Each structure stands twice: as structure tokens, then as C-alpha cells.
Amino acid sequence: MVGSRSLTGSRRAAIQKAFTQLMSRLNEEFSFGLHGKFVIALGDEFEGLIQASAASQVIPNLIWRIEQLFSDPAIRLGFGFGGIDTPIEDNVSSLDGPAFHRAREAVEGAAKSRKMGGVFQGFGNKHDEVLNGIARILHLQRSRWSRQQRNVAVLLRQGLRQSEVARAMSRSRQAVSIDVRAAGWEAYVEGELAFTKALEGAIAAGGSR
């Protein structure tokens, strides 16, 4: 959680409550792809264990949902790929292995370089570079959307057509179309598809170095 140390009093209490609610929401939405539920660690961090077979589906959607549901303060994300040395169980706090070590290094690297949108480590040198590059480009594009463009993007990503978005937002289809073009939505969709395919390739390669 970026800048969490500066939070005090009622603001900190409210953020911690929202953070706890976020964990419940994520565990419910991504239960199909988790080996271990997301849990809060050290007060302002969280960790979880994603199934390798579901990573390409979970990770892009997880990044999107966290930014949508918890944007203030922002959350830096680190993803580590590797083995687990301890027996896998639901309580991820008791697990250990290269996957967690690499995730920690990714988070620390993200904090040091102030990178948002997800940092990847352990997927293989070339795969790490590709995943980090795509993650950074997608985050940059999202960060440039206006609030209205973001609202349109949320509905489009849910599968609505532009005409349906217009009705849902009580706007003209032409106005929605202008926001879609300004947001570069078609390019963003292609970028997310590339992200998914890159994750599939990295997982299939087994994190070789």
C-alpha cells in the first residue's frame, strides 16, 4: 500500500477496513484460481497463492479489480513464480519457497523504482522483461484515462456493447464512442490479450532461466 505510513487516526482505520473488505472481495471473485486465499500481512501488505494453471486468467483481472476497487491509496503488486517448499494449505502465511521469495523481491523492486501495474520475477529472464513491459504500458494507459473514460472502460470490460454502455450511463452513443476512441480502448484490449498470452507462455516455460 503506497504511502501507508503517513496514514493516521480515522483515515488509517477507514483504509484498514476497506483493505479487509478488499481481501474478502478478491477471495470471492478469484476463488476458482487460488491455492491459498489472499490475506493481509504486516498491516499494509497482502499475499496469496495463485494456481499456475489459472495465472493467465487471474493476474490481468486481479490487477484491474484492485485498481478499480482500491485506488486511494494505490497498491503496488509483485508476482513471483516458483516452487513451494512447504505443504500447500489455505493459510498462505505458513507457506514458504521460491515463489514467495521472488514475489517479495518483486514488491521491493516495485517500491524502489516506484513501478505500478505489477512487477514480475521468476518467470524467466526474457519472460520477466516481456511481462513487466506489458504491465507498465497497460498501467500507463489506464492512468491517463479521465474518470468518464474509466467508467466507460469498466462497462466495456464487463462485456457491454457501446450502445448498452450509452444506455447504462444515460449518454448518447456518439459521446460514448468519443470516449472509447480517446481512451484507446481497442489498443488496450489488444494489450491485455498480449498480456494473457505472455503469461501463458511464461507459465508453460516453467520459469526457466
Amino acid at 191: G
CB of 153 within 8 A of CB of 99?
no
Q: What is the pLDDT of residues 89-110, one digit of tens each?
A: 667 777 778 888 999 999 999 9
Residues counted in the chain: 209
Beta bridge partners of 46: 40
Q: Which residues contact 30 (CB under 8 A, 6 or more apart)?
A: 50, 58, 61, 62
pLDDT of residue 42: 77
According to DSSP, the β-strands at 45-50 and 34-41 are antiparallel
Angle at 49 between CA 48 and CA 51, to 5 degrees: 145
- Residue-wise pLDDT for 13-24, tens only, equals 888 899 999 999
Q: For the chain, how many structural domains are there in total?
A: 1
Q: What is the pLDDT of residues 111-170, one digit of tens each?
A: 999 999 999 999 998 999 999 999 999 999 999 999 999 999 999 999 999 999 999 999
Supply the pLDDT for residue 207.
67
pTM of the model: 0.91
Domain range for 108 is 4-205
Mean pLDDT of 81-88: 82
| Residue tagged 516458483 (cell numbers) | 82
**Rg of the chain (C-alpha set):** 18
